[in-house]
Amino acid sequence: MTDTPQPHGPAHDTQISAPQLPWSPSSTIRPLLIVSPVSGGGRGQRALAGVRAAFIRNGVEPIVHHSASLADAADRVHRADRRALIVALGGDGLLGAVAGAASETGAVLLPLAGGRGNDTVRRLGLGLDPVATVQHLHDLTEHRIDLGWVRTQDDSAALGRAFLGVSATGFDGVANELGNGIRLRLGPLTYLAGGALALFRFHGAQYTITVDGRVTRTRGWFVTVANHGQYGGGVQISPDSRVTDGTLEAVQLRGGSVVRAALVLLAAYRGAHLGMRGVTVEAGREVRIDADQPLGVFADGERVGSVPATVTVRRGALRVLAGPRAAALGLR
């Protein structure tokens, strides 16, 4: 879809003081605001007018682009001036796709809550009200953070797909896929509903996991590779993950029954699962995953292909704005 023409608002003298921003209200380089019309049942689209008005009150008018797809969003970022602030208003999948493109152009990214789970926004301390986030740009600071990158043998993902949160396969991948198919507006509870359905669809797999060359073969329920460590509208699968340490965390659940899998994932909403039997965490820069069945692989909630998959970290690849209490940066 094409950029939406917007009437020019009045000039303002308000100064935006977010450190190291590559633009200013007096600059001719306008922010690029990419909005998903469908994320979160249209949540981003409904917030668009307020977000645009908040930018204008801060003295700058954004260029608005309605994204037709994740590929379309990434392409629009690639065509933008690298000095422009890239603003993504949508779900975690949109944020991950835009982040991948911004990491290649060098632009600064501002993620805004416009989806159902909004886990990236939560972990970066940006709040769930996108209008309030823009109104308080002066409270945000720029950081260089790590970006996850997942590749599968599927044609569409052979070159890889970026992610900010997690790449998952197994029980939580099945739950993600089933949750995406739920048409009811359940918000963050969508993944929980998908997990309930997954209890009847998935019964474990035989995995071969290689972390920085160390190979483990085991029967288990899921493998989740974490960058900022949260997904599914609040599942803290790796609550201690940091996006500045140059590593990913491979979280596995080995052995046990479907009941244990359900209990582990419920406990993960509080980040209280790491001490439970069968749960392991291993940090590394490259994680390779294979299984004895064609399991789907997901990145920030979007299916990217099937195993085998290779997940790597691109250290400090992305410039991003974050809030003063960004847990993924170790700020509380």
The 10 Å Cβ neighbour count of residue 307 is: 23
Cα–Cα distance, 259 to 199 (Å, whole number): 8
Coil, helix or strand for 243?
coil
For 113, the 3-state DSSP assignment is: strand
Nearest CA to 91 among 53, 71, 65, 119?
A: 119
Name the CATH topology of 150-316.
Tumour Suppressor Smad4 (2.60.200)
In the chain, CATH 2.60.200.40 sits at 150-316
Q: Is 217 helix (H, G, I), strand (E, B) or coil?
A: strand
User: Could you tell me if 137 and 58 are in contact, meaning their C-beta atoms sit under 8 angstroms apart?
Assistant: yes
User: Tell me, what's the pLDDT at 195?
Assistant: 59
Tell me the longest C-alpha to C-alpha distance in the chain: 63
Distances (CA, A) of 286 to 226, 235, 325: 11, 23, 29
- Chain centroid, CA 148 distance in Å: 10
Query: DSSP alpha helices (H): ranges in the chain?
Result: 43-57, 70-79, 92-105, 119-123, 130-135, 171-180, 189-198, 258-268
Contacting residues for 28 by C-beta, under 8 A, at least 6 apart: none
Residue 173: what residue type?
A: G
Strands (E), 255-308: 279-284, 286-291, 296-299, 302-306
Q: Where in the sequence of the chain do the CATH 3.40.50.10330 domains occur?
A: 32-139
Residue numbers of the chain with a pLDDT score lower than 70: 1-28, 155-158, 173-200
Answer whether 35's CB lies under 8 Å from 89's CB: yes
Q: List the one residue out of 231, 97, 247, 95 whose CA is nearest residue 171.
A: 231
Cα(73)–Cα(64) distance, integer angstroms: 11
Q: What is the pLDDT of residue 20?
A: 46
CATH level 3 topology of 32-139: Rossmann fold (3.40.50)
Tokens of residue 33, six digits: 């605001």
Structure tokens at 312: 């790597």
The residue type at 321: L
Q: Bridge-partner residues for 313, per DSSP?
A: 148
